[in-house]
Amino acid sequence: MSNAPGQPNGGWVEVIAGVMFSGKSEELIRRVRRSLIARKRVQVFKSHLDDRYAGVFMVGSHDGRTIEAVPVDSSAQIALRLDPQAQVIAIDEVQFLDAGVVALVNSLADRGRRVILAGTDTDFRGEPFGPMAPLMCVAEYVDKLHAICVCCGAPATRNQRLIDGKPAHYDSPQVMVGGADSYEARCRSCHVVARDDGAQARLF
């Protein structure tokens, strides 16, 4: 296992956070590829909600070695399907997993594993998504990536959910499995959450 500064033998947790389209999966794949080049034993998991996410997620190295992501729905499934020999464990779309993933990744890091997590940190309302907040707290390393706002070109930090082309209502579910919704990357100023009173969602 390549060693991070100050961690001669131990493991650690890395979080790649950000909105949709910010390049989290690209960055996770880059890190996994480099681990494969370093001849580490790597296992990749990807949470999936329905058939949209069931497409095989392959990670390839330049020398032709490839690794397939294991689809999972829960932290318990990761624990069950874990390769005990894996030195590097990566999880994509970690925001969809249950709170148990926090203890799981802590325990993996405690046992010397490098854990790489990628997830959308905020939901369509701009609020913390699933276990992302505690994961970002327990991680040794956090990178927050930005997309490009499709409205104004500024760095995008929000997921704009559109239903039939209109901003979704605040009360619509956090996860819409199989819903007819779509998403855009937007900046704080251009992000809109519909409210009954017509106002944008604001804390103050």
**Biggest distance spanned by C-alpha atoms of the chain:** 57
CA 58, CA 173: separation in Å to the nearest integer? 30
Q: Is residue 93 flagged as an active site residue?
A: yes
Which residue in the set 148, 151, 162, 190 belongs to the binding site for ligand ADP (CB under 6 A)? 148
Which residue in the set 99, 103, 152, 177 belongs to the binding site for Zn ion (CB under 5 A)? 152
Does the protein bind ligand ADP through residue 24 (CB under 6 A)?
yes
Does the protein bind ligand ADP through residue 119 (CB under 6 A)?
no
Give the CA distances from residue 142 to residues 13, 18, 118, 130, 135, in Å, rounded to whole numbers and listed in that order: 9, 10, 10, 17, 9
Subset of 172-201 contacting ligand ADP (CB under 6 A): 185
Active-site position among 93, 127, 140, 184? 93
Which residue in the set 151, 163, 192, 201 belongs to the binding site for Zn ion (CB under 5 A)? 151
CA 104, CA 106: separation in Å to the nearest integer? 5
For residue 189 the two structure tokens come to 């100023």
Q: Note whether 72 and 151 are within 8 A (CB).
A: no
Which parts of this chain interact with ligand ADP (CB under 6 A)?
18, 20-26, 147-148, 150, 185
Which parts of this chain interact with Zn ion (CB under 5 A)?
149, 151-152, 154, 187, 190
Question: What residues are labeled active site?
Answer: 93
